[in-house]
């Protein structure tokens, strides 16, 4: 019998997905956080289930040769980067294998042509957006009792619960009441870290409390920093529970004086309970309230709450592969399904006759229309609605646009609705490119297309998010009977 708090010595056999590794103890499967295949570790049990237990590394006794020193001092607690302790080449190998395994195990596709994964050019500072939370309770790091003896010992860093007025950082995984108080993150940019520190100092000095979801009161809620990676624009969005113009005005003044790179400062006021960094009201305190970024030769306007791919350079690469796999011709009509703010539609628009983009979020469709107009693009049409309904019953939009020559499908992590897959199968379109952020749903959806004659010609995995378990892939489908 295992119990919470038990300390186990484990030899890690393999690395599974989502940042956990696998070991056995007395015949029981142990999912281990913070480990790596080839490690021998001491780990503390934090969850026991009938068929497995879950444990977290507290000490590395023998390090796997694929280990490396995590660069971030919050690694292991923040929960954002699960794999900073794994050398990048090994991370890529896991991700590649994960795509192959999902296609085989979930899709039943053996021997698929999965091309060698494309790694990210930037291993750190690759994100163009980070969202920090304020809180009145926090995990704070306890300084190590003794200096680390091995380079891997930092994984055992301890944190404790603390109470003060204002903390600023990320919510600790599974502790949504507490914030991990941080002064830097390796994923956005040094400038963004400097901004984080200034805003933290200012909020502490303000004598205003952080918003508390328990009492539904307080002031400071979120800090969102967005950067145009290809333009240099920077937006600081302060999300608050109340409207206090004098507080944000002074903060905007200090931010713009200290960091001339900042092009706009806005204040979203969110008086709802929902813990989202989106306000019912937005006030602009500096600049225009909008930044721009570029993908390929196209310019995109980004306001505080618009959706935009979080790794600009990675998105450009992903879209280029999708464009190549679509083998576009000037006479083509393309459906960009799950188009978001129309970035793929706009990216491919110069190579085809027409693109029709569809997305369920009305504001994304409005952004897509605006983006097309901004780039003087006239051959893109955007339609708001649930794809399943637009394919099964509300089909009037197809009258002038049928049949399409190419489908580019980029669904959310949950994949496609089965009815949408079925309709697409029936449409019998020769060229289909499936852009996926979840190999499991890619495999499941293509398996549903198989009875219609589709199979996978090739898959290109692309790593856009180093140190996390996320993996994108572009699959080219083929159908000999179309």
Ligand X SMILES: C[S@@+](CC[C@H](N)C(=O)[O-])C[C@H]1O[C@@H](n2cnc3c(N)ncnc32)[C@H](O)[C@@H]1O
Which residues are marked as active site? 437
Nearest to 357 by CA among 329, 338, 377: 338
CB of 341 to ligand X, least distance (A): 6
CB of 359 to ligand X, least distance (A): 4
Q: CA 442, CA 82: separation in Å to the nearest integer?
A: 23
Nearer to ligand X, 130 or 409 (CB): 409
Nearer to ligand X, 60 or 383 (CB): 383
Nearer to ligand X, 76 or 411 (CB): 411
* Residues that bind ligand X in the complex, under the rule CB under 6 A: 309, 338-340, 343-344, 358-361, 364, 386-388, 410-412, 437
Tokens of residue 477, six digits:
């489908």
Nearer to ligand X, 228 or 411 (CB): 411
The Cα-based distances of 443 to 47, 200, 331, 377, 468 in angstroms read 30, 44, 31, 34, 21
CB of 308 to ligand X, least distance (A): 7
Nearer to ligand X, 85 or 226 (CB): 226
Give the CB-nearest residue to ligand X.
340
Tokens of residue 43, six digits:
């780990």
CB of 241 to ligand X, least distance (A): 27
Nearer to ligand X, 293 or 359 (CB): 359
CB of 392 to ligand X, least distance (A): 12
What's CA 406's distance to the chain center, in Å?
27
CB of 436 to ligand X, least distance (A): 9
CB of 300 to ligand X, least distance (A): 10
Answer whether the bond into residue 472 is a cis peptide, omega within 30°.
Answer: no
Nearer to ligand X, 62 or 413 (CB): 413
């Amino acid at each position: 019998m295992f119990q919470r708090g038990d300390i186990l010595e484990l030899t890690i056999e393999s690395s599974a997905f989502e940042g956990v590794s696998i070991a056995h103890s007395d015949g029981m499967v142990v999912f281990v956080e913070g480990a790596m295949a080839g490690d021998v570790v001491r780990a503390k049990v934090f969850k026991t289930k009938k068929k497995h237990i879950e444990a977290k590394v507290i000490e590395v006794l023998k390090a796997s040769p694929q280990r490396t020193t995590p660069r971030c001092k919050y690694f292991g607690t923040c929960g954002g980067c699960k794999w900073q302790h794994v050398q990048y080449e090994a991370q890529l190998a896991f991700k590649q294998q994960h795509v192959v395994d999902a296609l085989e195990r979930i899709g039943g596709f053996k021997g698929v042509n999965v091309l060698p994964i494309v790694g990210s050019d930037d291993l750190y500072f690759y994100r163009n957006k980070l969202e920090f939370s304020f809180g009145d309770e926090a995990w704070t790091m306890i300084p190590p009792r003794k200096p680390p003896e091995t380079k891997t010992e930092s994984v055992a860093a301890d944190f404790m619960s603390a109470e003060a007025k204002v903390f600023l950082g990320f919510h600790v995984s599974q502790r949504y009441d507490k914030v991990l108080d941080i002064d830097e993150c390796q994923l956005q940019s040094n400038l963004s870290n400097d901004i984080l520190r200034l805003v933290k100092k200012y909020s502490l000095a303000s004598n205003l409390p952080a918003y508390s979801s328990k009492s539904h009161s307080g002031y400071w809620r979120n800090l969102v920093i967005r950067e145009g990676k290809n333009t240099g624009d920077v937006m600081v969005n302060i999300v608050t529970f109340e409207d206090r113009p004098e507080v944000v005005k002074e903060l905007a003044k200090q931010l713009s004086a200290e960091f001339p790179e900042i092009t706009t400062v806005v204040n979203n006021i969110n008086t709802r309970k929902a813990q989202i960094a989106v306000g019912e009201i937005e006030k602009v305190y500096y600049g225009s309230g909008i930044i721009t970024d570029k993908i390929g030769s196209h310019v995109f306007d980004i306001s505080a709450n618009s959706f935009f791919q979080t790794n600009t350079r990675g998105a450009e690469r992903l879209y280029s592969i999708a464009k190549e796999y679509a083998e576009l011709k000037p006479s083509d009509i393309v459906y960009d399904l799950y188009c978001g703010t129309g970035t793929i539609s706009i990216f491919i628009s110069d190579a085809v006759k027409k693109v029709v983009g569809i997305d369920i979020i009305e504001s994304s469709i409005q952004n897509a229309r605006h983006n097309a107009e901004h780039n003087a693009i006239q051959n893109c049409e955007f339609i708001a609605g649930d794809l399943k309904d637009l394919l099964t019953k509300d089909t009037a939009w197809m009258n002038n646009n049928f049949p399409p020559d190419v489908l580019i499908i980029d669904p959310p992590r949950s994949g496609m609705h089965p009815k949408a897959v079925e309709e697409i199968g029936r449409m019998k379109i020769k060229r289909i490119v499936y852009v996926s952020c979840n190999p499991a749903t890619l495999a499941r959806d293509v398996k549903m297309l198989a009875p219609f004659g589709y199979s996978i010609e090739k898959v290109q995995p692309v790593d856009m998010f180093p140190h996390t378990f996320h993996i994108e892939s572009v699959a080219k489908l083929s159908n000999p009977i179309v």
